[in-house]
């Protein structure tokens, strides 16, 4: 047989399709007993709402677009981003809703703008989740101008208020630097993400402020911005460790670059805890397996990602963006004392 529709239920119950539709949508226009009848019949025939009819009629898509900026095929370097977990978290948060996650993989920032423009103008989704925010993000402006529901993973700095979820980078860096300073480090390197990313700026400013408070001088030679690959971490250690006055601590923005930093240690014959130490920000929970394990700020990725899902739902229901802003503070996991032991 063919799939049952509301027409099937109408015949089954002797009601009109309009009443059936209203009953299924909990309209107050239908008596509770009638509703019960309809629901029973629906159950009996195994009715399942056909979304295509709904979509055509209402114009809603019941899709949440997840924009994922993944490096192109050429780029084989690992960046240690657990996008998969991010996507799963969003997907799970939408589980009990009629919404589905629709994936838009793009290769570059520019392409993500074009994709979002298309989604907005052709209404290919009801909401958008976008990550890798810039300090002044044209995509955010675009969506705001169109009054399109969205949530960002990452804050912006120059844009009007919008819904976001992010790790508390400011606090994380402030505490990191203070902790290392307390332990006697005066030359602290900051391995930072690409400079156009919003959290890069946040981290850099927090870093400068924290140095200031600790009475340490800011040296531009100890900061680096780039793609957070192992290669990047390695290069920076190779370079910075051969400066006249090399750093004794490296704060890496993720575990991939931290792994690369270790590789640099190995190449230079540096010993962790004697010549310098490495700290990281962590969402893979992998740095406990480094040799030796390092101190990290750990944020299980499912927390922000499920929040992204919940927030986009609420945003699509019209909730104000100001109410949907959260910074999550990662947990400090001290796996090393991080004081240098001269031997």
List of residues contacting its own copies (CB under 8 A): 3, 48, 52-53, 55-56, 59, 61, 63, 66, 68, 70, 73, 76-78, 81-85, 87-89, 91-92, 100-105, 122, 230-231, 234, 256, 259-260, 262-263, 265-266, 284-286, 288-293, 300, 302, 306
Supply the minimum distance, in Å, between the C-beta of residue 52 and DNA. Answer: 6
Q: Which residue in the set 16, 75, 108, 118 belongs to the binding site for DNA (CB under 7 A)?
A: 16
Binding residue (CB under 7 A) for DNA from 31, 44, 274, 331: 31
How far, in Å, CA of 170 to CA of 328, rounded?
A: 11
Determine which residue in the list 50, 118, 245, 288 makes contact with DNA, applying CB under 7 A. 50
Q: Does 231 bind DNA (CB under 7 A)?
A: no
Q: List b or e across 90-99, with b for residues whose CB sees 16 or more CB atoms inside 10 angstroms.
A: bbebbeeeeb
Phi-psi region of 62 (alpha: psi -120 to 50; beta: other; left: phi over 0): left
Decide: is 49 part of the binding site for DNA (CB under 7 A).
yes
* Minimum distance of DNA from residue 60's CB (angstroms): 9
Pairing of strands 295-298, 331-333: antiparallel
Q: How many CA atoms lie within 13 A of 30 on its CB side?
A: 20
Cβ–Cβ < 8 Å for 109, 69: yes
From 4-12, 201-209, 268-276, 334-342, span contacting DNA (CB under 7 A):
4-12
Compare residues 40 and 103 and give the one whose CB is closer to DNA.
40
Q: What angle do CA 13, 17, 22 make, to 5 degrees?
A: 100
Q: What is the CA radius of gyration of the chain?
A: 26
Q: Which is nearer to its own copies, 126 or 170 (CB)?
A: 126
Q: Using CA atoms of 200, 205, 211, 212 in order, give the dihedral in degrees to the nearest 10.
A: 170
19's contact among DNA, its own copies, none, with CB below 5 to 8 A by partner kind, is DNA
Shorter beta-carbon distance to DNA: residue 31 or 331: 31
Q: Which residue has the tokens 């890798």?
A: 132
Binding site for DNA (CB under 7 A): 2-3, 5-7, 14-19, 21-22, 24-25, 28-31, 33-34, 47-50, 52-54, 56-58
């Amino acid at each position: 047989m063919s799939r049952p529709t509301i027409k099937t239920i109408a015949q089954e119950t002797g009601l009109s399709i309009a009443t059936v539709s209203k009953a299924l949508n909990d309209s107050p226009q239908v008596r509770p007993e009638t509703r019960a009848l309809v629901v029973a019949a629906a159950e009996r025939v195994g009715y399942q709402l056909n979304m295509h009819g709904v979509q055509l009629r209402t114009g809603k898509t019941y899709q949440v677009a997840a924009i994922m900026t993944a490096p192109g095929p050429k780029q084989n370097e690992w960046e240690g981003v657990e996008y998969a977990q991010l996507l799963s978290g969003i997907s799970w948060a939408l589980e009990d809703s009629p919404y589905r996650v629709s994936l838009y993989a793009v290769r570059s920032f520019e392409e993500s703008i074009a994709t979002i423009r298309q989604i907005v103008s052709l209404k290919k989704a009801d909401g958008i989740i976008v990550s890798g925010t810039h300090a002044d993000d044209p995509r955010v402006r675009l969506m705001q101008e169109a009054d399109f529901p969205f949530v960002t993973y990452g804050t912006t700095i120059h844009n009007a208020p919008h819904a976001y979820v992010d790790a508390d980078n400011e606090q994380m860096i402030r505490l990191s630097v203070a902790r290392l300073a307390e332990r006697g480090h005066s030359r602290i390197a900051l391995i930072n993400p690409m400079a156009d990313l919003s959290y890069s700026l946040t981290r850099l400013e927090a870093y400068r402020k924290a140095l200031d408070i600790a009475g340490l001088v800011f040296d531009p030679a100890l900061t680096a911005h780039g793609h957070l690959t192992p290669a990047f971490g390695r290069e920076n250690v190779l370079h910075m460790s051969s400066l006249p006055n090399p750093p004794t601590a490296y704060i890496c923005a993720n575990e991939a670059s931290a792994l690369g930093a270790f590789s640099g240690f190995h190449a230079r014959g540096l010993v962790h805890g004697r010549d310098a130490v490495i700290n990281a920000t962590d969402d893979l929970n992998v740095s406990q397996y480094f040799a030796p394990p390092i101190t990290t700020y750990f944020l299980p990725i499912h927390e922000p990602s499920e929040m992204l899902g919940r927030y986009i739902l609420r945003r699509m229901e019209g909730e104000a963006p100001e109410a949907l802003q959260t910074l999550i503070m990662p947990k400090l996991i001290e796996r090393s004392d991080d004081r240098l032991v001269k031997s």
